[in-house]
Amino acid sequence: MEGDEPAQVARDAVAALIGLSSVSATTQEGTELRVDPQSVNGLVIRALVPRLSLVGVQTVKLRWSVAGKPWVADAVLDDAEFQSTEQAIAVFRVEAAEPADLGREAARTELHAAGLLRAVHCVNAVPGNEYPVRIDDVSETGVRISSGFAVTRNDEFVLEFDARGRRLHLEAQAVAVRTDAGGTYVTGARITGSGPGDLRTLRDLVAGIG
For the chain, the domains span 2-99, 109-207
pLDDT tier at 104, thresholds 50, 70, 90:
very low
CATH of domain 2-99: 2.40.10.220
What is the mean pLDDT of the segment spanning 69-95?
86
Q: Which of 1-10, 107-116, 128-137, 160-169 is the least confident region?
A: 1-10
Q: Which CATH superfamily is domain 109-207 in?
A: predicted glycosyltransferase like domains (2.40.10.220)
Tell me the pLDDT of the chain averaged across its residues. Answer: 83
Percent of the chain predicted with pLDDT > 90: 30
Amino acid at 21: S
DSSP lists the bridge partners of residue 26 as 32, 61
Cα–Cα distance for residue pair 170/190, rounded to 1 Å:
10
Same fold, 2-99 and 109-207: yes
Query: Pick the residue with more confidence: 73 or 128?
Result: 128
Q: Which residues contact 104 (CB under 8 A, 6 or more apart)?
A: none
- Report yes or no: 171 and 193 within 8 Å, Cβ to Cβ: yes
